[in-house]
Amino acid sequence: MSIRNARHPFYDHCETALRDIRAEGRYRSFTPLARDAERFPVYEEELPAPLPPRDVVVWSTNDYLGMGVEPEVCEAAISAIREFGTGAGGTRNVAGTHPMHARLERELAELHGKEAGLLFNSGYMSNLATLQAILTSMPGWICFSDRMNHASMIAGIKGAKGSTTVIFEHNDLKDLEAKLAAAPPDAPKLIAFESVYSMDGDISDIRGTCALARKYNALTYLDEVHAVGLYGEHGGGVSERDEAAAEVDIIEGTLAKSFGSHGGYITASAEITDYLRSVASGFIFTTSLPPPVIAAALTSVRMVREQGWRRDAVFERVSALRTRLRAAGIPFIATPSHIIPVPVGNAAACTRISRRLLDEAGIYVTPINYPTVPRGTERLRITPGPRHTDEMMDALVAALGRLMREECPGKPGQQAA
């Protein structure tokens, strides 16, 4: 048995790359925060011994509705553990499909007005596995992908060897149509896009995109992960709000944001869903979601569908925070969604503001740096929820205003009325 004597060059590569990342001010450190279920959005920050944990108000969670701490949802998971145990025991092909998997898939299909649904272990995997399976199903596929699509969509598209990718400018239907028109008319085509783009908070024109898909005979694939639960009469997303769900071929979503649980899914026609169930490797070869996760998700989806007041509460809080930011002269991008980006434009300053908010005010706001967003567009990303109080908002605005003045002096405001 031989032992390598020379240092492998990959170690040097890692060392150099990490040094450069630190020098650019975009090194990512994990913040040890434990959610307090009874006091959410208050978390406890773990400090070095012998210091005790301290309270932190978190403003960047994707548990938009706070369903992950709802007593009824938590109790559903606890009851499922007592009855079924903690794990799934294998893939759905090997260890069997729990009846709750099928019930949740039916519930999600109904939510989006589709014939069937299919669960995956994460939103990332549902995008990757589905797009890869579709784009390798027939020769000659052309995928038209919005320039700002999520990394999971890009991974699935790039992983489809033999297909062609055409990038269209973000939310630009004129550019999309020009590129559709230039493509071979007989080639199988797919348009992949999102409803709410989570870093900029803007929203796509779903009906306009679907109209182009019909004109050029393209399949439509819509990622609604940042919209499900929040938009539409029953929380079916922007496609439900805009009465466009029936026009979309495949709607993808997550259980890990507004529904407060874990996992991803797609909904579509019975034929497409059954095909993906039969060929998508990311579904076939992955241990299925465990019963307590499914039980929590199923309970949450049913509650969110029925209780529209939860959606109203989110947008009331978003409006209240925007009013305070505007009055304080703090720059923000007034998006049409629930996401409030505060532009900083410098990775080091963005990281420092986030760190100082935590250290000096007990407030956590995520810094968003490259490669999540392009260099020069670094920002803080704020997502107000129904449990953020007026007092929490006042504390955030006071601390953020002071730090923005100190770290970004002379920065012009970018808020809109």
Hey, is 136 helix, strand or coil? Answer: coil
Q: Are 166 and 179 in contact (CB under 8 A)?
A: yes
Which whole-number Å values give the CA distances from 50 to 42, 47, 265, 336, in the listed order? Answer: 22, 8, 44, 45
CA distance 289 to 122: 9
User: Which DSSP string do the residues of 329-362 spell out, in sequence order?
Assistant: T------SSS-EEEE---HHHHHHHHHHHHHHHS
Question: Contact, 347 vs 375, CB < 8 A?
Answer: yes
> Using CB atoms within 10 A of its CB, is residue 417 exposed (0-12), middle (13-18) or buried (19+)?
exposed
How far from chain centre, in Å, is Cα 192? 15
How many CA atoms, within 13 angstroms, populate the side-chain half-sphere of residue 211?
7
Residue 174: both structure tokens together = 């004129």
> Which residue among 114, 189, 215, 257 is the active-site one?
257
d(CA 27, CA 348): 9
If phi over 0 gives left and psi between -120 and 50 gives alpha, with beta otherwise, what is residue 55?
beta
**Residue 257: active-site member:** yes
β partners of residue 116:
268
Which amino acids are annotated catalytic?
257
